[in-house]
């Protein structure tokens, strides 16, 4: 799989890069928890905390700002607290960036790559808006619906056979929490059943590092790709505005503070690179372990790992 993948990018003139796994800064995303370690030694008399990256996104964007052109990376990433049938605290990620590309072109390229890696030249691609997805299957507008509507929709879905939602009325969630619940329990299992499904144009509150597309309503230029009811990739039309980026980081930190989560240092080098100027780019991260699961028809991530963490 890695050979085919490298040949694919070599043929398209995308440069393979490596960025550090360890960083003094860490993601501020409240939905992600970083593992950390300590660096000590002759050059570093007092141990310094270093975080294992949850994705190579920020240093890769520094390379883009430095004029690297299109780049890709295959690396291990680390996420604390994630373990399950489809989750493992360390996993392999393929991440790549296309300066000057629109999101649609990148979506097509992801589909091309997957057809190659899965050896399914005829694999179809279906693109649906986040809003349309909720409207079609649940009859609600995810961009406009209030908390009570989302809660009622989850209850109704539970009554209609969505077993994961059969007793969700006690959950205390915010708007995005309810949307995530509906998406993961009710909608995701239906996606990618007849080819690839791409869901795009997320609510602005779930923009992460994506640019917002002005409009009424405004949406985030973000997509996720699904196959066999499983999320494989997440892509953005990348936010390049340093001030907006800093504001989002600070909002993340506030959310972390409110939730009692650690508040890691901001990646100032990345913010400086954005301020110096990063070309407009489309970027995507794709989980290679899950892709291997799809290729092999495995239903547990452990089936594609040599030694799962419990035996590592």
Partner 1 sequence: MASYKTNEFKGGLKIMLDGDPYTIVENEFVKPGKGQAFSRVKVRNLKTGRVVERTFKSGDSVEAADVHETDLQFLYYDGELWHFMDPSSFEQLTADEAVLGEASKWIKEQDLCSVTLYNGQPISIEAPSFVVLEIAETDPGLKGDTSGGGGKPATLETGAVVNVPLFVQTGELIKVDTRTGSYVSRAKDE
Interaction site with partner 1 (CB under 8 A): 29, 31, 81-87, 163-168, 171-173, 176-177, 179-181, 183-185, 188, 206, 208, 224, 231, 234
The helix/strand/coil state of 231 is strand
Distance of closest approach, residue 11 Cβ to partner 1, in angstroms: 28
- State the Cα–Cα distance between residues 33 and 53, nearest whole angstrom: 10
Judged by beta carbon, residue 180 or residue 279, the one nearer partner 1 is 180
Residue 198 and residue 127 in contact, taking contact as beta carbons nearer than 8 Å: yes
Least separation in angstroms between residue 184's CB and partner 1 is 5
13/260 with CB nearer partner 1: 260
**Closer CB to partner 1, 34 or 234, in the complex:** 234
In the complex, the smallest distance separating the C-beta of residue 163 from partner 1, rounded to whole angstroms, is 5
Angle between helix 103-117 and helix 2-11 axes, rounded to 10 deg: 140
Here the tokens at position 206 are: 């779930």
* Lookup result for tokens 């790709």: 225
Please tell me the distance from the alpha carbon of residue 198 to that of residue 156, in angstroms, as a whole number: 25
Nearer to partner 1, 188 or 267 (CB): 188
What minimum distance in Å lies between the beta carbon of 210 and partner 1? 10
Radius of gyration from C-alpha coordinates of the chain: 20
Q: Closest CB to partner 1 among 109 and 224?
A: 224
Q: Which is nearer to partner 1, 38 or 300 (CB)?
A: 300
Task: Tell the smallest beta-carbon distance from residue 196 to partner 1 (Å).
Answer: 16
**d(C-alpha 137, C-alpha 148), whole Å:** 18
> Which of 285, 294, 298 shows the shortest CA–CA distance to 118?
294
Q: Distance between CA 34 and CA 264 in Å, rounded? A: 9
Least separation in angstroms between CB 3 and partner 1:
26
């Amino acid at each position: 799989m890695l050979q085919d993948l490298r040949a694919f990018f070599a043929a398209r003139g995308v440069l393979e890069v490596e960025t550090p796994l360890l960083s003094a800064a860490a993601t501020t995303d409240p939905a992600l928890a970083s593992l950390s370690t300590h660096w000590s030694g002759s050059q570093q008399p007092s141990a310094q905390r270093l975080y294992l990256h949850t994705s190579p996104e920020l240093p890769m964007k520094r390379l883009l700002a430095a004029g690297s052109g299109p780049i890709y990376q295959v690396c291990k990433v680390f996420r604390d607290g994630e373990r399950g049938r489809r989750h493992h605290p360390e996993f392999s990620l393929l991440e790549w960036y296309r300066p000057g590309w629109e999101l649609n072109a990148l979506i097509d390229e992801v589909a091309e790559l997957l057809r190659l890696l899965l050896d399914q030249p005829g694999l179809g691609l279906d693109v649906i808006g986040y809003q349309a997805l909720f409207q079609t299957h649940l009859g609600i507008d995810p961009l406009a619906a209030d908390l009570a509507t989302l809660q009622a929709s989850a209850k109704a879905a539970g009554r209609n056979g969505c077993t994961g939602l059969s007793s969700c009325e006690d959950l205390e969630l915010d708007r995005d929490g309810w949307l995530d619940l509906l998406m993961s329990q009710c909608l995701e299992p239906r996606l990618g059943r007849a080819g690839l499904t791409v869901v795009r144009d997320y609510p602005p509150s779930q923009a992460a590092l994506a640019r917002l597309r002005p409009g009424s309503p405004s949406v985030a230029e973000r997509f996720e790709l699904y196959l066999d009811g499983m999320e494989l990739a997440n892509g953005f039309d990348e936010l390049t505005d340093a001030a907006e980026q800093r504001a989002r980081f600070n909002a993340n930190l506030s959310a972390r503070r409110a939730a009692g989560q650690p508040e890691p240092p901001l990646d100032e080098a990345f913010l400086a690179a954005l301020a110096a100027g990063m070309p407009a780019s489309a970027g995507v991260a794709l989980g290679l372990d899950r892709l291997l699961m799809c290729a092999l028809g495995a239903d547990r991530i452990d089936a594609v790992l040599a030694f799962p963490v419990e035996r590592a």
